[in-house]
Amino acid sequence: MGFYFKGDQLFAKRADIPTESQDEWTTFVMDLRESAEMPNLDNFTRFLATSLGFGIGNIGREYYDDMG
């Protein structure tokens, strides 16, 4: 699978892969439209840890009682 920009829109391309070249892992290649600096590693990992912790903490917190 590949991604490309056409104007302001992002499109995806798909292709069939020969069986002998298939792998159980999926990889994506996506070039940035504009180059960007690598974020500060400490701030980036803090953001990821906070985001994942918040998301995991909210899984399965809903309960609906339709029994009357």
Instruction: Confirm whether 40 is domain-assigned.
Output: no
**pLDDT tens for residues 7-61?**
888 888 888 888 888 888 877 777 777 777 888 999 989 988 888 776 665 566 6
What is each CA distance from 62 to 14, 19, 58, in whole angstroms? Answer: 37, 43, 9
Q: Is the pLDDT of residue 5 over 70?
A: yes
pLDDT of residue 59: 61
> Do the domain assignments include residue 44?
no
Range of the domain at 13: 1-32
Residue 24 pLDDT: 82
10: in domain: yes
Give the separation between CA 25 and CA 46, rounded to whole angstroms. 27
Under the banding of pLDDT at 50, 70 and 90, the label for residue 63 is: low
Query: 2: closest CA among 30, 35, 33?
Result: 30
